[in-house]
């Protein structure tokens, strides 16, 4: 009964239950705790906000940043300086410190994020760079002193005389009590948590999840992943800057320890202990670690750090999904397991998507690509028009490399690529997709944690950028792939051949003018290959199809134009009958002397 109730109301997916429990626990603490404990617990909520800023990056986008304390510290100092200079006349320190803290966090994260993501840095490089930035910030705050009006930042001595939390306006207003501070921070934490949950459920958040699962596939769908990553990094920086400004108002004093390596490494610990990717987990992690430190302060001769360290090690070893993972695993026991799924039925007759773009010609002019001493693409001139063109040749002929050069997956060393009359040689991959090129690589690339419907939806949204149009396109394409009743299935539950089909349908959702397919029939049954042949023949009437394939029976079923590659060069072209009767082609393709 409990499981049916959870499934019917979709409580876990909507995160309503998590937020409700979070608020309930906070209110209970507010009722039973004394003023000192409330004051200390307020700082745990602030550290939870700092942890939330990282979980949004690390848990949702797979970006481990060790530089969150940069935005946290700079936001704190900026908010404190503003409050010191203006609180005596305005009064309300929230309206002074918080916006400036957020702004400084966003700005700093935007600058760092631009170099990271537009510089195409890898995950390890990102982690190292943000860690190095922490060291620079820490050293700078220790070394230099500044004066901003009435605020004096005195290097190692920090910044003092920061006004406390004040909600009223005017001169001589009173500060919030310990209970008032705690309730204010609880409200801010809940709003941030709900805001982040809603952000992740928006199309922006879905794209972020796609980037975490497969950044290359996301770019193949036409999304500029650098822009999305930078924006998320800036949002994360703004949340951390907000946390820093709140910490300044809470403690009335700041020093360079905010930027320290120890503080920086505590942030991922909050996330891991609470549960990475859960958003509420960082709050649970910060509260748990804070409570342990508070209650074990006098334990074993002051060896609280040792006890906490042992507990953290045990958590990582035996509960790798954190506290939220434990809670969710208990709840999932009450949820009924889904029945065994049926095989997907492909129905090509249901393909009725309105064509909104005409076919385009793609042409290569002396394109050349080498990898050291290996030259997979050697000065190839080819033109692809409406209809199907198959690229064939022996293994190592350069077929897939040439296709990747055409699509922009491989940057070329020399030559040009044209789409109609447009020179797209220097276009980024996602920009080529936006110009009308749809690409499917050898191995099926689908987002395995997404359902079938979500996979098609995220692809269609890249084309339409309109939710209602995307929903219509998704429902239409689902009719090909098992119908709407199969839309809920996880892509991870599909067979290899079914994933191939889903990948192809995701390409169709982009409504491309040029469709590039690299061995699309691999892993399909004979029946599936016949259906794929039918689909390609339908598409070839209005699109330009470029196909790399080894299965000659499948190639013959398409009656295509053929380009034969050999040792990275164009060997010959012609229709399928001419090529199959060419003695020289038989020699190189079959290895015949």
Q: With 80 as the cut, is the pLDDT of residue 350 above it?
A: no
The mean pLDDT of 490-499, rounded to a whole number, is: 88
- Which pLDDT value is given to residue 24? 83
Rounded to 5 degrees, what are φ and ψ at 83? -65, -40
- Which pLDDT value is given to residue 338? 54
Which one, of 7, 11, 17, lies nearest residue 338 by Cα?
A: 7
Q: Which positions ≥6 away from 547 have C-beta within 8 Å?
A: 388, 389, 390, 391, 517, 520, 536, 555, 558, 560
The mean pLDDT of 119-145, rounded to a whole number, is: 88
- Which pLDDT value is given to residue 335? 61
Q: Are 394 and 591 in contact (CB under 8 A)?
A: yes
The mean pLDDT of 336-351, rounded to a whole number, is: 69
The mean pLDDT of 418-440, rounded to a whole number, is: 92
- Which pLDDT value is given to residue 425? 92
Taking only the tens place, the pLDDT of each residue in 570-581 is 888 888 888 888
Record the tokens describing residue 557, joined without a space.
Answer: 């079923």
From CA 108, how far away is CA 89, in angstroms rounded? 29
From CA 167, how far away is CA 418, in angstroms rounded? 61
Mean pLDDT of the chain: 86
Q: With 50 as the cut, is the pLDDT of residue 1 above it?
A: no
- pTM for the full predicted model: 0.89
Rounded to 5 degrees, what are φ and ψ at 230? -65, -45
Q: Which positions ≥6 away from 149 have C-beta within 8 Å?
A: 81, 84, 85
Please state at what angle helix 203-213 crosses helix 452-464, rounded to 10 degrees. Answer: 120
């Amino acid at each position: 009964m409990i499981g049916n109730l959870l499934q019917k109301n979709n409580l876990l997916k909507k995160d309503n239950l998590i937020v409700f429990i979070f608020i309930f626990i906070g209110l209970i603490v507010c009722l039973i705790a004394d003023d000192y404990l409330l004051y200390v617990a307020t700082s745990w909520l602030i550290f939870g906000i700092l942890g939330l800023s990282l979980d949004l990056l690390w848990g949702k986008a797979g970006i481990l940043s060790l530089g969150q304390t940069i935005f946290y510290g700079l936001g704190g100092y900026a908010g404190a300086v503003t409050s010191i200079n203006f609180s005596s006349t305005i009064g309300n320190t929230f309206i002074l410190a918080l916006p400036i803290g957020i702004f400084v966090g966003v700005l700093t994260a935007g600058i760092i994020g631009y170099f990271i993501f537009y510089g195409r840095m890898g995950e390890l490089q990102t982690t190292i760079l943000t860690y190095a930035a922490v060291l620079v910030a820490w050293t700078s705050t220790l070394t230099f002193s500044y004066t901003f009006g009435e605020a004096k930042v005195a290097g190692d001595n920090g910044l003092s005389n920061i006004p406390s939390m004040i909600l009223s306006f005017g001169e001589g207003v009173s500060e919030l009590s310990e209970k008032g501070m705690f309730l204010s921070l609880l409200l801010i934490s809940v709003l941030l948590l709900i805001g982040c949950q809603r952000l992740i459920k928006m199309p922006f958040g879905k794209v972020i999840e796609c980037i975490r699962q497969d950044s290359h596939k996301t770019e193949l769908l036409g999304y500029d992943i650098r822009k999305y990553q930078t924006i998320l990094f800036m949002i994360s920086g703004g949340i951390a800057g907000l946390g820093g400004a709140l910490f300044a108002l809470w403690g009335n004093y700041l020093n360079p320890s905010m930027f320290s390596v120890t503080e920086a490494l505590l942030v991922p610990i909050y996330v891991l202990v609470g549960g990475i990717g859960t958003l509420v987990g960082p709050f649970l992690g910060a509260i748990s670690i804070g409570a342990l430190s508070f209650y074990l302060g006098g334990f074993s001769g002051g060896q609280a750090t040792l006890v906490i360290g042992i507990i953290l090690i045990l958590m990582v070893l035996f509960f790798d999904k954190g506290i939220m993972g434990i809670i969710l695993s208990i709840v999932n026991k009450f949820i009924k397991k889904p029945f065994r799924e049926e095989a997907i039925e492909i129905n090509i007759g249901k393909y009725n998507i309105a064509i909104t773009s005409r076919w385009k010609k793609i042409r290569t002019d002396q394109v050349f690509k080498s990898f050291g001493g290996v030259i997979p693409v050697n000065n190839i001139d080819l033109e692809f028009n409406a209809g199907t063109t198959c690229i064939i040749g022996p293994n190592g002929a350069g077929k897939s490399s040439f296709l990747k050069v055409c699509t922009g997956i491989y940057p070329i060393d020399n030559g040009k690529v044209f789409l109609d009359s447009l020179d797209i040689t220097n276009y980024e991959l996602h920009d080529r997709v936006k110009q009308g090129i749809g690409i499917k690589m050898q191995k099926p690339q689908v987002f395995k944690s997404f359902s079938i419907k979500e996979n098609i939806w995220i692809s269609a949204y890249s084309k339409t950028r309109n939710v209602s149009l995307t929903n219509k396109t998704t429902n239409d394409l689902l009719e090909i792939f098992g119908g709407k009743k199969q839309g809920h299935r996880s892509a991870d539950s599909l067979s290899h051949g079914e994933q191939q089909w889903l990948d192809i349908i995701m390409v169709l959702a982009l409504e491309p003018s040029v469709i590039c397919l690299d061995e699309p029939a691999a892993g399909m049954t004979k029946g599936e290959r016949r259906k794929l042949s039918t689909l390609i023949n339908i598409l070839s009437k209005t699109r330009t199809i470029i196909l790399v394939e080894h299965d000659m029976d499948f190639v013959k079923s398409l009656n295509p134009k053929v380009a034969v590659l050999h040792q990275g060069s164009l060997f010959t072209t012609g229709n399928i009958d001419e090529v199959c009767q060419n003695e020289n082609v038989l020699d190189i393709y079959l290895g015949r002397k």
